[in-house]
Chain A
Amino acid sequence: MTTQPVHFYQIGSFAVGNRLLSDDERTVQSSPNRANSIDSGHRACQGCGEALGARYALDAAMRSSGGQIVAVNATGCLEVFSTPYPETSWRIPWLHSLFGNAPAVATGVAAALRVKGLHDVRVVAQAGDGGTVDIGFGCLSGMFERNDDVLFICYDNEGYMNTGVQRSAATPPAARTATTDVVGPEPGNVFGQGKDLPRIAMARDIPYVATATVADLHDLEQKVERAMSMRGARYLHVLVPCPLGWGSASSETIHIARLAKETGLFPVFEAHNGVVTDVAKIRRQVPVQEYLSIQRRYAHLFGKKPRPDIVARIQTIADQNIARYGLVEPASSDQEVHV
């Protein structure tokens, strides 16, 4: 069941919604009764995709669970900007331990809730890409392997942003970061590296794996709610553009996230027990150039000494993703999805 993209209309208030939708089709965010799990007053940058994604995801989790969640947060942007001493913007029980252990800490929280018979209280662990694919990888693998009852959400802004924009295993090829400078024969991050966490998670056959972006609120909320309807290890990978790290305009965050999906560079899909069950189709494939050229981390690919060869390699990656996940409706009959 593919989600139907929804057009939003300005309805005379600041609520995000569509008054043509029935109540049960409306987003959590459109409700004035939403939990506001992460409340206003936090110190995120203007246009921060992660702040948006966290609010969307946690409010949806709160609605699903009737307000009964405990959040475990890894060190990173979200943790830092949400708890500027002496304040906290969290309205939910929230624990920050270390950078690399959010999955294990969440496992511990889940175990404690189980032993105390608090079956209705659910655990959500969240980390940036660094705390998920790099330093958190060991603990995450353990959480997957044991099928611990935790929804793990990775907010992927493709680098270590809080510490000054360094490369992580989620940084895409050719992107400039402070540790992959645009010098030498291969400027920016090198090709042929990186970890595809959603596919790694699927290889573990855990009950639910999904990717999403902050460009599609309905889709993200539905995926959170679907995940919350299940037990066991669940993984959600959310693309959250970072204006600072990506060198993009703060007003462009949602647009860039949409382009990431529409180019095929960020496949949006769902998988159950290791098998892809649904993909968000690309209505009209956008050339990667349109996506790359509005981010200064890719500026070296354009301008005075353009690198169309590198852009072409990135286009190949997008095309491969589209083929792998069947993101574009083929002209002819059904296309099987092989991952």
Chain B
Amino acid sequence: MLRQIEGSRAVAETVALCRPEVVCAYPISPQTHIIEAVGAMVKEGTLAPCEYINVESEFAAMSVAIGASATGARSYTATASQGLLYMIEAVYNAAGLGLPIVMTLANRAIGAPINIWNDHSDAMAVRDSGWIQLFAETNQEAADLHVQAFRLAEELSVPVMVCMDGFILTHAVEGVDILDQATVDAFLPPYEPRQVLDPADPVSIGAMVGPEAFEEVRYLAHLRQLDALERIPVIATEFEELTGRASGGLVRAYRTEDAEIIIVALGSVLGTIKDAVDIRRELGERVGVVGITSFRPFPGDAVREALSGASQIVVLEKAFSVGFGGVLSTDVAMSMQGEQYVMRNVVAGLGGRSITRRALEALIADAVRGDLPALTFLDLDHDAVDRERDRMAKTRRSGPSAENLLRDRGALSSSYPRSES
């Protein structure tokens, strides 16, 4: 049923429809509304049978999920940013043990400096963990991806995280069609574990593996991710046949057929980019967009195919590798080896800085003119940076940079977007 609801609520209700058996979570902005809603459903009995555990840390959350999943229960948790890092040992552990846990990652910047707003640095921090990482463009897709995630995870015995932009999606109220129980049940059969702790058939899970076999175990994980590349489009197609809407898949192209310039991005910013692209298209500029939904496994072939024909590829991303450049752009470049094109990397939206349509239009105009540098930090206040560098050069005890920059900025709330005038 189509309802006007908050993204977090849509995700919570959809996760409940997936019949999770053990839910454990530790609160962290901006994921709180999701776990509060699921917790309420368990407490009042609308989600049953389900055990909801209030854990003492994110490390405990993922650990509880590991124990539950290894015992054959469908397990779910959610976190963001600092919480993801706090559980990172267990995140790798879950993937290494092949446990099909599903987790919502409400993308949020990682500190220091502490920042509760959206960017993708958290997802990037675990991109090599062996988890599948799917990025939602809208709240509809965020909800839908959870259903697909449980199916994918359990088929392959690989944990899956659904990434949705913190606040921008989690706290936005918009129209989302929530599936009904029968539809989800038809799509998602009960969990049949590949390995399970059962006194009737004892196994040891989690033994040490030495140099003799470690590479093989890791390679098997690699193969499972490659299997995922095959399964993700199939599952998305099946989902579309069942529900009538396209959600998930590997990549999604928009107006790329004759595009000379293609912008590549992850997540909710794709919506704003499409609006900007439409405006520039009216002016005759041949520009298109490719949204990557499956970030891990990285769909190299699909990306390459979608970008073929473009002479300039602009990768716009909400994360970067400090001292080097983009993360997503590096992956895209790897996929484009041997192709003829120019790549431009734009780092934008860090720590929740708004990515405005006008800024994107200006970006496209620059790209059309060939004026984009190899690496741009969108909307960066160069003056503020220069002032701080001067301070640091002049005195040893220059103080915390973050404080200096904020003091520089003055009394305005830092989350309020600056006008274009």
For the complex, give the distance between the alpha carbons of A55 and B45 in Å: 41
Question: What distance in Å separates the Cβ of B31 from its nearest Cβ neighbour in chain A?
Answer: 19
Cβ–Cβ contact B204 & A107, under 8 A: no
Cβ–Cβ contact B90 & A85, under 8 A: no
Cβ–Cβ contact B56 & A107, under 8 A: no
Cβ–Cβ contact A142 & B67, under 8 A: no
Cβ–Cβ contact A106 & B51, under 8 A: no
| In the assembled complex, A69 has its CB within 8 A of some CB on chain B | yes
Chain A residue at smallest Cβ distance from B26? A142
For the complex, give the distance between the alpha carbons of A148 and B201 in Å: 25
Q: Considering the complex, which residues of chain B in the window 43-100 have a beta carbon less than 8 Å from any beta carbon of chain A?
A: 49-51, 53-57, 59-61, 63-73, 75, 89-90, 93, 97
Chain A residues positioned under 8 Å from B97 (CB to CB): 97
Chain A residue at smallest Cβ distance from B207? A83
Instruction: From B57, B67, B69, B212, give the contact of A107 (CB < 8 A).
Output: B67
Provide the B340-360 mask, 1 if CB < 8 A to any CB of A, else 0: 000000000000000000000
Given A112-B22, A115-B22: A104 and B204 interface contact (C-beta under 8 Å): no
Cβ–Cβ contact A93 & B51, under 8 A: no
| In the assembled complex, A145 has its CB within 8 A of some CB on chain B | yes
Chain B residues positioned under 8 Å from A111 (CB to CB): 22, 24, 51, 53, 64, 67-68, 73
For the complex, give the distance between the alpha carbons of A279 and B91 in Å: 43
For the complex, give the distance between the alpha carbons of A131 and B17 in Å: 37
Cβ–Cβ contact A70 & B71, under 8 A: yes
Chain B residues positioned under 8 Å from A86 (CB to CB): 213
| In the assembled complex, B202 has its CB within 8 A of some CB on chain A | yes
Cβ–Cβ contact B208 & A91, under 8 A: no
Q: Considering the complex, which residues of chain B in the window 163-209 have a beta carbon less than 8 Å from any beta carbon of chain A?
A: 197-199, 201-209
For the complex, give the distance between the alpha carbons of A105 and B57 in Å: 13
Question: What distance in Å separates the Cβ of B337 from its nearest Cβ neighbour in chain A?
Answer: 37
For the complex, give the distance between the alpha carbons of A100 and B60 in Å: 9
For the complex, give the distance between the alpha carbons of A146 and B65 in Å: 16
A-side binding surface: helix, strand, loop or mixed?
mixed
Given A93-B199, A114-B51, A139-B60: A84 and B208 interface contact (C-beta under 8 Å): yes
| In the assembled complex, B410 has its CB within 8 A of some CB on chain A | no
For the complex, give the distance between the alpha carbons of A94 and B54 in Å: 25
Chain A residues positioned under 8 Å from B51 (CB to CB): 111-112, 114-115
Chain B residues positioned under 8 Å from A113 (CB to CB): 71
Cβ–Cβ contact A106 & B56, under 8 A: no
Given A93-B203, A97-B97: A108 and B65 interface contact (C-beta under 8 Å): yes
| In the assembled complex, A68 has its CB within 8 A of some CB on chain B | yes
Instruction: From B21, B60, B70, B210, give the contact of A101 (CB < 8 A).
Output: B60
| In the assembled complex, A88 has its CB within 8 A of some CB on chain B | yes
Cβ–Cβ contact B67 & A98, under 8 A: no
Chain A residues positioned under 8 Å from B89 (CB to CB): 98, 100
Instruction: From B60, B90, B202, give the contact of A94 (CB < 8 A).
Output: B202
Chain A residues positioned under 8 Å from B199 (CB to CB): 67-70, 92-93, 121
Given A84-B208, A141-B56: A109 and B71 interface contact (C-beta under 8 Å): yes
| In the assembled complex, A268 has its CB within 8 A of some CB on chain B | no
Cβ–Cβ contact B202 & A90, under 8 A: yes
Q: Considering the complex, which residues of chain A in the window 106-151 have a beta carbon less than 8 Å from any beta carbon of chain B?
A: 106-117, 121, 138-139, 141-142, 145-146
Chain B residues positioned under 8 Å from A142 (CB to CB): 55-57, 60
Given A101-B60, A115-B22, A145-B56: A70 and B204 interface contact (C-beta under 8 Å): no
Question: What distance in Å separates the Cβ of B95 from its nearest Cβ neighbour in chain A?
Answer: 12
Cβ–Cβ contact A105 & B213, under 8 A: no
Chain A residues positioned under 8 Å from B209 (CB to CB): 85
Provide the B4-42 mask, 1 if CB < 8 A to any CB of A, else 0: 000000000000000001101000000000000000000
**A-B residue pairs in contact (CB < 8 Å), sample of 18:** A70-B199, A83-B204, A84-B208, A85-B207, A85-B208, A85-B210, A91-B202, A92-B199, A93-B197, A104-B59, A104-B60, A107-B63, A108-B68, A108-B75, A110-B67, A111-B68, A114-B51, A142-B60
- What would 7 more interface pairs be, CB under 8 Å, given A80-B208, A141-B56? A85-B209, A94-B197, A97-B90, A108-B66, A112-B51, A112-B69, A115-B49
Listed in ascending order, the chain B residues whose CB lies under 8 Å from chain A are 21-22, 24, 49-51, 53-57, 59-61, 63-73, 75, 89-90, 93, 97, 197-199, 201-210, 212-213
